[in-house]
Structure 1
Amino acid sequence: MYKDFAHFIRENRAALLEAWIAEMKEHVDPRTANVVTEAVYEGTSRDFIDLIVTRAAETAKEEGFYEKLDDFAEKIILLGWPIQFITKGIQTFGLLAYKAMRDEDILFGKEKRAEDDAFYRFEKWLSSLYNQIITAYADTWEKTVSQQKLALQELSAPLLPIFDNISVMPLIGTIDTERAQQIMENLLMGVVKNRSEVVLIDITGVPVVDTMVAHHIIQASEAVRLVGSKPMLVGIRPEIAQTIVNLGIDLDQVITTNTLKKGMERALALTNREITEKEG
């Protein structure tokens, strides 16, 4: 049904590609342009045209359209092409191809169909292509975000063994309920795995400590104490200290220091060690 479209696009792909690249340069996100070379941009644009040609063919399934579609979606997401750029790209290409085919009477063929019928056929083909590319983009984006989220969860609350029996958990960024649960799990598993006697929870990089955050941190400290390790809260800035006092939080069971350095010195003392300068 769309063989005429496929044939025309395949025969005129070079001209269509050149016109499409020139048109789309006005819509490229500056952040994308700064990290993507001209060669990569043109190569990806060729992949886009090739995808359209393959989709237009009657033997799209046999020619590996869906495999190419998945590869293309993954590539443009890694390059940082936003969904708005993709939708604009499809619309722009459709308009360029339609005008070119109309000028050469490709749309009407031997039957001399009416203009409305020709436009309907082309729109139907383009809409199908549009839906498939957007769906593939969305699916690949969701998978990418899911994988990144898992990776960030693993890195967002690491328990690092610094010395024998001493571990540090540096916390950076905001702490919500989901992340607090991850902190708790990593703390408890790490304490047992590393046989930590002292655990330093470093909140230097936590920008805001409100009621909820303070509650989560104290809960984590209490959990560490219950499994036989001594919790230490380090990196307490003046404003955080004031917040904790105003909230009426009891820190009798938790050692606190204002810097990680002081916390480490205290932890070494608790394990009967100290750092000394070597002479000569």
Structure 2
Amino acid sequence: MSSSVIDFIHQRKDHYIIRWKEDIDPLVFNDASLSEGLADELRIEIIDIVLNDLYTEEKGQGERLRRFADRLIHYGLPLGNFIRGLHSLRRMLRNDLAEEYTEECILEFEAQLDGLISKLADESAKMREKIIDTQNHALKELSVPLIPVFDDISVMSLIGTVDTKRAKYIMENVLEGIVDHRAQVVLIDITGVPVVDTMVAHHIIKVYEAVRLVGVHCILVGIRPEIAQTIVTLGIDLRNFSTKSTLQKGVEAALEITNREIKEAPTK
């Protein structure tokens, strides 16, 4: 494509920013808590990408698009709305170019711009996947940790719903924690699990059995009356499981297993 097309647009850049502002603001910036200065900065940045990066080498263009996609995600701007705004810019440019250039020239420019829009969408999707992976990793590290409370005694407190994915994290964390803390007794506290159905009970039983298979005592604590009733109603057999109603009673049992007990200090 002739460089005169990009020169034609570049000379009118400020004009296009002003005109495009009327189209894109209702789509992208109206509901966003951005200062006017930051919104202008983003408008100018995408115009520069349209004007300059269509003709830069692939590597440089990809890097700029990644940075821009990262900024959109950081400020919580909907990519779909922004892309619709870019298509409004595309239509605006086409109307102006139609007065100066052949249809072939315009189609070539549009193809380049459409390719850039697709790459922006791809880079944004990759950035979001990366963020989700990072969040999932953080969830794995921060949720359901095995916490040592005494030498050889550790507690895992389950809070919230236990689904299949979370059950996998629980299993990994409890087995890794047993090795790290050299636990002899593990208390699994389900006080914070709001609902225990067949699936949840199945996940908890699997964790319990895995702990016993590695030679560690396991005590299930926090079985409230309503959970006990549900377990009986569902026909789940916990007769071979060591259970306690509260964490306190579970700790007392764990101390007994490890030949220890808590005594009150003599008063002076």
Question: Per the shorter chain, which TM-score range?
Answer: 0.7 to 0.9
Aligned to 1:4: 4
Deviations 1:202-225, CA, capped at 9 Å, x for gaps: 223333322122011012112212
TM-aligned CA deviation for residue 118 of structure 1: 5.5
Which sections of structure 1, spanning at least 5 residues, go unmatched? none
Q: 1:208, 1:2 → 2: CA distance?
A: 67
Which of 34, 54, 65 is residue 56 of structure 1 equivalent to? 54
2:38 aligned with 1:33: no
Query: For residue 205 of structure 1, what is the aligned residue in structure 2?
Result: 192
Q: Deviations over 1:106-144 (max 9, x none)?
A: x42xxxx3xx54553443232222222122222222233
- DSSP 3-state at the match of 1:150: helix
Amino acid at match of 2:63: E
Map of 1:20-169 to 2, 5 A cutoff?
A: 20-28=20-28, 33-34=32-33, 36-57=34-55, 60-61=56-57, 64-102=60-98, 105=99, 107-108=100-101, 113=102, 116-117=103-104, 119-169=106-156
Q: TM-score, normalised by structure 2?
A: 0.82
Shift of 1:252: 3.2
CA displacement, residues 250-272 of structure 1 (integer Å, 9 cap, x when unaligned): 32343434444554455445542
Paired residues in the alignment total 267
Alignment RMSD (CA, Å): 3.0
Normalising by structure 1, what TM-score? 0.79
The SS at the match of 1:236 is: coil
Letter aligned with residue 18 of structure 1: I
SS at match of 1:28: helix
Q: Which whole-Å deviations, capped at 9, do the CAs of 1:117-174 have from their partners, x for residues lacking one?
A: 4553443232222222122222222233233223323333321223322212222333
Change (3 A) 1:275 1:24: farther
The runs of 5 or more residues in structure 2 that have no matched partner are: none
Bigger drift between 46-55 and 120-129 goes to: 120-129
CA contact (8 A) 2:50 2:113 kept: no
Percent identical residues: 42
Q: Secondary structure at the match of 2:66?
A: helix
> What is the one-letter code of the residue matched to 1:254?
F
Shift of 1:26: 1.4
Distance in 1 of aligned mates of 2:265 and 2:74: 49
The aligned amino acid for 2:11 is E
